[in-house]
A and B are shown apart, each in its own frame.
Chain A
Amino acid sequence: MPLVLTEDQEMLRESAAGFLKDEAPVSALRELRDSGSEDGFSRELWAKMAAMGWAGILVPEEYGGADFGMVGAGVVAEEMGKQLTATPYLSSAIMAATALNALGSQAQKEQHLTKIAAGEELFAIAHDERGKHSTLGVALKAERMGNGFRLNGAKTFVADGHVADQIIVSARTSGEPGEANGITLFLVDSGTDGLKIEKTAMVDSRNAARIDFNNAEVTADAVLGEIDLGADGLEKILNAGRAGLAAEMAGSAAQAFGMTLSYINERKQFGVAVGSFQTLQHRSAHLYTEIEICKALTLKALQSLDEGAEDAAKLVALAKAKATKVSLLAAQEGVQMHGGMGMTDEFDIGLYLKRAKVAGELLGDSSYHGNRLAEMLGY
């Protein structure tokens, strides 16, 4: 498949870019932050996005979705990344929809997919248990109890966990943390007894949650996929999220770079624009090159997921590793090249730095994915 967007995907990009610029620019994130918004995003805006088909971007048409595939989902994520738009898009529209498409029973699909597409039900993926991401490092215990299960343990860094109606939880039904076998996924209502959800304001002004499971009881219907054999499905969900996040970060990097370039081309010192200095020109040209590489690679990873390509997992690890490094580089260089202004809250570049840090950590940083990649390559 050619590594370019199709006409439909290009149209989607244009409409997303226009909408987000008008409705959800960076100033909207500031407003959410400064007003101390409880949700951390605008429900009104999310309803509009749902009406445009974004909440159901991966949901099949029979459930009212747009079924645009991962490339389409990534295109929207990239545009959101440019504006730092805070929405439950990654958790609900990308990861939860992927989970239900791949693993959901007929009943689960019918119950949830229509609501996801309509933007009526919000999801979160509760997976990490410590400050560093690990695919198989699941310790949260799920013990059989009659017809159901009893969950005990703690999850952290659950993006959108504080607003979620439904939570997809990775749990261990057998085996030890680090083992693939013994992982089971559960679909848990956030109002279930025994759940303690604590909102955690993050440095990027978006919210996540810590969730304690204290003898939380669920029925057997809550199992998503197969008992003990959840690792493959989990990997699918995480990979969709990683690729979507890589697209978001590619967008953020491009935008941070564009802002920086405008700034240094205007800012005068020694009587000339500082952008005329070769030291900044070469760093800018290098950064541009890295961003172009990041964009091409992200598209390739998204395409590989849609095609179900054999090397999709490898490409996703690559894309997340690269996007993490490049978006951080773009933000770090951006702050430095803005000089003193880059350190002020008034300028937007700092917001990009904060988001790059959090998005980089979310679903695995560049060391984590580099390490996985080395293993996939046999060393």
Chain B
Amino acid sequence: MSDLQQFRAETRQWLEENCPADMRDGKLSEDTSCWGGRKWEFTSEGQRLWLERMGARGWTVPTWPSEYGGGGLSKEEAAVLKQEMKAIGARKPHDNFGITMLGPALLKFGSEAQKKEHLPKVARGEIRWCQGYSEPNAGSDLASLRTKAEDAGDHYVVTGQKIWTSYADKADWIFCLVRTDSEAPKHKGISFVLFDMESEGVSTKPIKLISGSSPFCETFFDGVSVPKANLVYEENKGWDVAKYLLTHEREMIGSLFGGMSEGRSLGELAVKAIGTNPLGQLDDPLLRAKLIETEIDSLAFGALLQSVSDRAKGGESLGAVSSVLKYYGTELNKRRHELKMEIGGSDEMEMTDNNNDGQAARDWLRTKGNSIEGGTSEVQLQIIAKHILQMPNA
């Protein structure tokens, strides 16, 4: 038996013994996620046990080095783990912006002390992170951010406002872009700092979206004291960290929406809602044509995701390709939800209890943000034009 086969056999057995029954329903939506952190209330004992057990093995972050609380697995082993989890319908034990965003940035740019301090807590789900990037006047033009961090000897004093901070009201710590040099060109005066959301001077206010939900907050900093030990990488070089992290975020968003063809296809939904003609085709030829156009693009996009992922495994660096994925994946997701609403018609516009509180309509509204958050589609196109196609500056 090869090492990998052995690993698969052991993994299968461990999962069989340790994955609680109620964590095997194959659900992967935002509602069933376990976000962890100091304020988290577990939805079941199974959810608590699952996070604890996976966290103890570092399998919440399988490829991170074990000295930082990770599983220390190779990419191949991590792929086996994923397959075995999928085979039993295991939920993800833990979601955290610390896993998808901060972790990769700290592994690349963090000091040894920062990695030892923060990464294991992410792995075990003890600290939930949020991201302090956008500001009211720094959206697409992120680098013009104005939240300032003044040097006060052994610490900074942070004052300013962030916006679109995902789950700031539920997070324990924030990774945040601040201006440490207001004289320098805008990209060169930014630093990347970490601090506790319970620090004095931090307050949050949820923003109600058109979908009715409030996943984002306005976040205010009024003279927050941040120890200099919490500066990641060098002072005024935070933009390098920010860009690296955004690459990960965009790739994640793109892949997420590319992989969303799980469950029923649009065609199946439409046949159920509208019925078929005597030829067995959807009884609405124009809608059928629209559906197939979108389904072609969705399935085709799946091939690009696979190609990018396989190339990354081969050691190719992604860089601006993440913008390709983010752009196309989010635009596709908007198209899919427009069509879902068109399929359902007025039924899906009822915001009533017996229509699941209008979930389809809420999801549709929520997707409008997909092509805005994490850099708008227009910003992604600009990145592709500049960094991949190397088109001239205006």
Contact of A294 with B by CB under 8 A? yes
Contact of A259 with B by CB under 8 A? no
The CA of A280 and the CA of B324, in the complex, are separated in Å by 17
Contact of A35 with B by CB under 8 A? no
Interface residues of B in 345-389 (CB under 8 A from A): 378, 380-382, 384-386, 388-389
Interface residues of A in 262-315 (CB under 8 A from B): 264-265, 272-273, 275-278, 280-282, 284-286, 288-289, 292-297, 299-300
Q: Is the CB of A285 within 8 A of B268?
A: no
The tally of CB-CB contacts under 8 A between chains A and B is 128
Residue of B293, B303, B378 most packed against chain A (CB within 10 A): B303
Contact of B271 with A by CB under 8 A? yes
Q: Which residues of B lie under 8 Å from residue A265 when comparing CB positions?
A: 391-392
Chain B: how many interface residues by the 8 Å CB criterion?
A: 45
The segment from A66-74, A193-201, A371-379 that touches chain B is A371-379
Q: Is the CB of A289 within 8 A of B295?
A: no
The CA of A375 and the CA of B304, in the complex, are separated in Å by 24
Residue-wise, chain B 304-319 has the 8 Å CB interface mask toward A (1 for contact) of 1011101101100000
Q: Which residues of B lie under 8 Å from residue A319 when comparing CB positions?
A: 300
Residue-wise, chain A 342-379 has the 8 Å CB interface mask toward B (1 for contact) of 00000000000000000000000010001101110111
Contact of B281 with A by CB under 8 A? yes
- Which chain B residue lies CB-closest to A274? B392
Q: Which residues of A lie under 8 Å from residue B310 when comparing CB positions?
A: 2-4
- Which chain B residue lies CB-closest to A325? B296
- Which chain A residue lies CB-closest to B382? A281
The CA of A370 and the CA of B388, in the complex, are separated in Å by 31
The CA of A378 and the CA of B268, in the complex, are separated in Å by 7
Q: Which residues of A lie under 8 Å from residue B308 when comparing CB positions?
A: 296
B260 to chain A, nearest CB (A): 16
The CA of A272 and the CA of B328, in the complex, are separated in Å by 30
Question: Can you offer 10 A-B residue contacts whose CB atoms are under 8 A?
Answer: A273-B392, A275-B391, A276-B393, A288-B384, A296-B307, A299-B307, A300-B307, A319-B300, A322-B296, A377-B268
Query: Which A residues contact B (CB, under 8 angstroms)?
Result: 2-4, 261, 264-265, 272-273, 275-278, 280-282, 284-286, 288-289, 292-297, 299-300, 318-319, 321-322, 366, 370-371, 373-375, 377-379
Query: Which B residues contact A (CB, under 8 angstroms)?
Result: 265, 267-268, 270-271, 276, 280-282, 288-289, 291-293, 295-297, 299-301, 303-304, 306-308, 310-311, 313-314, 324, 327-328, 378, 380-382, 384-386, 388-389, 391-394
